[in-house]
Structure 1
Amino acid sequence: MSKIDGITLEVMKNSFYTIAEEMGVTLIKTALSTNIKDRVDCSTAIYTKEGELVAQAEHVPLHLGLMPSVVKEILKMYPEDKLSPGDAILINDPYISGSHLPDIFMISPIFYKGQLVALASNIAHHVDVGGMAPGSMSVKATEIFHEGLRLPAIRVRKNGKLDEEVIRLLEKNVRTGEEVLGDIYAQLAANTVAEKRIIDLIEKYSIEHVWESMHELIDYSDRRMRSAIKEIKNGVYTFEDYLEGDGITEDNILIKTKIEIMDDSISVDFHGSDKQSKGPVNSTHGVTSACAFYALKSLLDPDVPPNAGTYKCIELIAPKGTIVNPNFPAPVSNANANTSQRITDTIFGALADLLPERSMAACSGTMTGFSIGGFDHINRKYLSYIETYGGGQGALSDMDGMDGVHTNMTNTLNTPVEVIEQTFPFQVNNYCYVDGSAGAGKHRGGVGLQREIKLLTDGFTMTLMADREKNSPWGLFGGLGGKTSSCTLQKENGEVIHFSSKVTREIEKNDTVTLRTAGGGGYGRPEEREIESVLQDVILGFISTEQAKKDYKVVINNDFTINEEATGHLRNV
């Protein structure tokens, strides 16, 4: 029996989470790249000295699901007797850390009076780590070596002193060395904040109290999750969905999920999923685990504190050599943007009938990763623009999906148009919603986004990492699917080129790229939607009067009033 009462545990929980949040603020405010300081493509967390996750800031779900396994692997290579105060370890190797190469983890031990007491960790997506294309995520990569520099857990700081040799190695092996180093320094600063705050807690209470609070919080989350599982029916539930090619071919790639609920535990089994792909959409075991953790927590108990205890009741079965657990040296860079989202879709789909009131129709189904990079001959330096674009959220049982938002495994912000145009030789011609893209339903899906970028110089390469260009995000319980995504390039002479969802190619001055992301699926039969809600969507431009009549059986007059007689006839009211 724990000596910590409920009130004290709540105080300590908030203390730990406040530290993680302050780490995140520090990282964002001191970063150099637009990808972190504007888009917030980073995450922060603190751990027990044994590597058990204690608390994480509310950042990117994919990152946060990865970090527990990363820290455990670091401790295998650097056990306690090999760590010193002031150390900081970098790792980005997907076959150790579980993510892709641009995601660099920074792990720092926290000592108090010579004793290891905790660990601080953060992850930041760097705008370039080398490889065959700017941004380090070419869809043409066929092995991990094409994707950039691999860091297999190296100390960038030893005993509090920065290792200048490691710094030079990083700087000279990436295209945007200044930005990468600036973000590395920001990661160091974030972990330094964690160290100071953990020591403050220890001095306020004691080492023993802090340790006991950490472990009790983990046990509490485990109890909460197991209790949530006990409330639902035992059984086996399945679902399958597809990725639209791997960048090398456009053949569909099957992801098949079987979920078994057994009293107070759950297994997620991916047997039957396709073999690993030649192109870079392979999902490492860490990424696949993160997807399962996120989706099940969202469905079972969204409010449980996320830590190591939250996931103890979940067993993951991901066969080696498949799209969800590839063998080395398969390329993996695009799995974060696409495969992770599809894995999540299959888990939501599998449990939709069991938990209809908690379920969500399919979201846009991709992070729509987009990058443009190259050498700026005017300013004599490399530039790398990276962004993921939001889309339509799937509708839920009691509300519409949100419009133009990041969903499921991603939680980053957009890069403001002003920042893009000030930082890069681009002109943003428009940035808007894609009208008519929402899946119709009693509750409609969210609409997608459109951004149109014109290149103002030569010598750049673009990479698009998207999906749902062919297969519509599905609806639930009679709801219709959302409109698919698209990407076009218009040449200066007016020629328009239509791209598939995954492409890496050179682009020229005055080329204009237009991206449209998918809408979310609808929930429930469209003719059950409130008539006033349909009218409001027409007024806002989200749907046309033709869509209102066709999908919702609502007739709207030219003056934006309801034609009640015609509507009543269509709806048989």
Structure 2
Amino acid sequence: MKNIDTITVDIIENALKNIKEEMDVTLFRSAMSPVIREQHDCFPMITDAEGQMVVGNFGSHVPEVVNQFPEGVHKGDVIFVSDPYSCGGSISHVNDWMVILPIFSGEELVGYSSMFGHVMDVGGPVPSSMPVTATSIYGEGVRFPPVKLFEKGQLNESIIRIIKANTRTPMENYSDLMAIVASCRTAEKRVQELCERFGIDTYFGALEALLERTNKMMRELITNFLPTEPVSFEDYIDDDGLGNGPFKMKLTIWREGDHAYFDWTGTDKQSPGPINYYLSEPMFKMFIGSFLISVFDPAINFNDGFYDVLHIESPEGTLMRPVEPAALGCRTHALSRLFDVLSGALSINTPENSPAAGYGTSPYFIYSGYDQDGRYFNLMEVMYGGLPGRPIGDGLDGHSWWPAFVNIPTEYLETYYPLRVEYYRTGKDSGGAGMNRGGNCNEKLYTCLAKGTVSIHDDRSTLQPWGINGGEPGGSSSKTLIRKDGSKQKLDSKVDNIEVEPGDQILFITGGSGGWGDPLERKPEQVCMDVKRELVSLEKAKESYGVVLNPSTLEIQREETVELRNQMRRLRGNLEAFNFGNRADVVKV
């Protein structure tokens, strides 16, 4: 490696981080689908010439994809892929469209830019292409193995025609794809400018230094926070939408020196339904790194430099490593629950240092049909829930488990789709009680203004998000169809093609999250404020926190509170490290 001063390394590092942000901005301003444009369901990446991610939000898949082109890559090439099985699971279902663009400075390959985003519809039997009843990936829509969308600068029009012929939203899909390409071209231009400014050798030296820096810091995290003896933790997905389940996800972790080991042995076999998650090794390493860095040292730059110190075992034929052509469309339940399992495993020996469980999925609301003017509409909205109570404070109310995601503004929904949002709020009492309260869920009431169909993807409807270190579990999710005549019908958490008429309503309630720490240790003033903000009810303040408030003024009744808390401490048993709520009633061992 060329000797390079740390200031230059820092300048190039921050330039690359800014380029990554510019990729996002380019995409958000160009895409048409609200899931990308408004909710930011996309993941950028910039790599070195070998395909190692230097900055980005997901593990590098570049070598595996590029090696499928024996002719190599050239200036002007743009690779497109939407098949999880063709890229080792780096994208997790066929709605994720990924682009890889080689970056040349002069005639030398200096790296790759890549971006993938969730497009609205890729065909298949149901709108938005994530059928709950799918039993293989063949029933989930059109998938593309790695192909050259552009070859030496020339657009392959045949690919565009195939795309447009196999989607309910051809205009949106085409625009989204070109926006993804544009974001990668933005990175291409900016990286070329860096190479011109500093020289290719200096640029390469900085990338190598960044990777080595992250490697060294990750080794320190592993040594400081991972156990030397194997520890295991398990959590469950409710069901697969076809009547099967619950499905166990089990993870065992340990370290040997400064190397970490993660073993999914004991996880249930792959599901007949579409909740399988094809977990690529690089992607899981990325998740581990993201989790460890965000929890223990957010200052570390997130890149592929630490991958050689992580070792993954994921048995084939299981929920986390299904065999092709297993269905993958509803994989977000396993994808999100992965973080709860990882958190639980890391907290076995030190529950006081780890968060509780969150809402553990990625809920989808899908509404499609024809409006009063005969125009086709297809809405897919990602919903959020409670993030867990943590050692440093309360969990976030109604937040995405992925930090960069945001909600679709109500004004956008009501402008572009035939629906009305009656209210969008956090669900009172859905966050588990604790010294640090679990985040509350989201409650959203939609009124449908056009005839159409509704599909729902969610989880945590039967198994609660667990509390930790004495905290209570969070609330479960639920869905209700309210007909315009006032009659109500409970809906499953995974269901397709519910027919709705103008005036019908859908009440969509997501899962809450677990609390952290003894609820009786929470300051009465905090509980009082939660009640005033309508996050906690008077009843829960008294029953879970032992805080007595005046029903009229909401002032703390000090003497009654002290007396009640002392009584609750005397009567209760020892607090457990984990409170799994109703798990024993649902899971049959």
TM-score, normalising length from structure 2? 0.92
- Residue 252 of structure 2 corresponds to residue 261 of structure 1: no
Correspondence for 1:498: 490
Q: Please report the RMSD computed on the Cα atoms of aligned residues, expressed in angstroms.
A: 1.7
2:39 aligned residue? 39
Residue pair 1:268, 1:292 contacting (<8 A) in 2 also? no
Offset of residue 2 of structure 1: 5.5
Amino acid at match of 2:312: L
Is the partner of 2:60 in helix, strand or coil? Answer: helix
1:350 aligned onto 2:345: yes
* 8 Å Cα contact 2:290/2:302 also seen in 1: no
Deviations 1:45-98 (A, max 9, x none): 111121110111xxxxxxx33x412x122111136x521211111101011231
1:60 alignment partner in structure 2 = none
Corresponding residue number in structure 2 for 1:466: 458
Summarize the Cα distance change of 1:548–1:489 in structure 2 as closer, same or farther, 3 Å threshold: same
Cα distance change, pair 297–132 in 1 and its aligned pair in 2 (3 A)? farther
1:13-412 matches, within 5 Å, as: 13-56=13-56, 64-65=57-58, 67-69=59-61, 71-78=62-69, 82-97=72-87, 98=89, 99-232=92-225, 233-286=227-280, 288-335=284-331, 337-374=332-369, 376=370, 378-407=372-401, 409=402, 411-412=404-405
- Using the TM superposition, give the Cα deviation of residue 275 of structure 1 relative to its aligned residue in structure 2, in angstroms: 0.3
Give 1:438 deviation, angstroms.
Answer: 1.1
CA contact (8 A) 1:133 1:461 kept: no
* 3-state SS of paired residue (1:553): coil
CA-to-aligned-CA distance 1:197-239 (integer Å, 9 cap, x gap):
1111111111111112112211111111011112234221110
Instruction: Provide closer, same or farther for how the CA distance between residues 308 and 406 of structure 1 changes in structure 2, counting only shifts above 3 A.
Output: same
Q: Following TM superposition, by how much is the alpha carbon of 1:192 offset from its aligned partner in structure 2, in angstroms? A: 1.2
Quote the offset at 1:357 in angstroms. Answer: 5.0
SS of match in other structure, 1:344: helix
CA drift of 1:165 comes to 1.6
Query: Which one-letter code corresponds to 1:32 in the other structure?
Result: M
**Partner SS, residue 486 of structure 2:** coil
Unaligned runs of 5+ in 1: 57-63
Aligned CA distance change for structure 1 residues 542 and 357 (closer, same or farther; 3 Å): same
Q: Which moved more, 1:136-145 or 1:211-220?
A: 211-220
* CA shift for structure 1 position 502: 1.1
Supply the distance in 2 between the matched residues of 1:451 and 1:416 (Cα, whole angstroms).
13
> Which segment drifts farther, 184-193 or 320-329?
184-193
Q: Is the 8 A contact 1:48 1:118 kept in 2?
A: yes
CA distance in 2, matches of 1:292, 1:117: 27
- Relative distance call for 1:121 and 1:379 in structure 2 (3 A) is farther
Residue type at the aligned position of 1:342: R
**1:299·1:358 contact (CA, 8 Å) conserved in 2?**
no
What stretches of structure 2 of length at least 5 have no aligned partner?
Answer: 568-589
1:427/1:495 CA distance change after superposition, 3 Å: same
Return the offset for 1:506.
Answer: 2.9
CA distance in 2, matches of 1:291, 1:52: 16
1:279–1:291 CA distance, 2 compared to 1 (3 A) = farther
CA distance in 2, matches of 1:358, 1:171: 50
Give the counterpart of 1:543 among 503, 517, 536.
Answer: 536
Q: What's the counterpart of residue 59 of structure 1?
A: none
Provide the C-alpha distance between the structure 2 equivalents of 1:411 and 1:199, rounded to a whole number of angstroms. Answer: 27
Separation in 1 of the partners of 2:547 and 2:478? Answer: 29
Q: For the structure 1 residues 266 and 300, does the alpha-carbon distance in structure 2 shift closer, same or farther, using more than 3 Å as the test?
A: farther
C-alpha displacement of 1:379 = 4.3
TM-score by structure 1 length? 0.94
Partner-residue secondary structure (3-state), 2:360: coil
Shift of 1:543: 1.0
Query: Per-residue deviation at 1:250?
Result: 4.5
Shift of 1:365: 1.2
Number of residue-to-residue matches in the alignment: 559
- Counterpart residue identity of residue 8, structure 2: T
For residue 309 of structure 1, what is the amino acid of its counterpart? Answer: G
1:139, 1:435 → 2: CA distance?
30
* 1:12, distance to aligned residue in structure 2 (A): 1.3
Q: How big is each residue's C-alpha offset from its partner over 1:233-268, in whole Å with a ceiling of 9 and x where there is no partner?
A: 422111001000001114200111100111101111
Whole-angstrom distance in 1 between the partners of 2:235 and 2:207: 39
Task: Give 1:160 deviation, angstroms.
Answer: 1.6
Q: In the alignment, what sits opposite 1:61? A: none
Alignment of 1:449-528 (within 5 A): 449-458=442-451, 460-509=452-501, 510-528=503-521
Q: Percent identity?
A: 35
Q: Which whole-Å CA distance do the structure 1 matches of 2:189 and 2:265 have between them?
A: 46
The question of whether the paired residues in 1 share the 8 Å contact of 2:390 and 2:436 is answered with: yes
Query: 1:410: how far off?
Result: 6.2
Seen in structure 2, the aligned counterparts of structure 1 residues 508 and 44 have a Cα distance that, compared at 3 Å, is same
Indicate whether 1:415 and 2:405 are aligned: no
DSSP-derived class of the 2:467 partner = coil
Q: Secondary structure at the match of 2:311?
A: strand
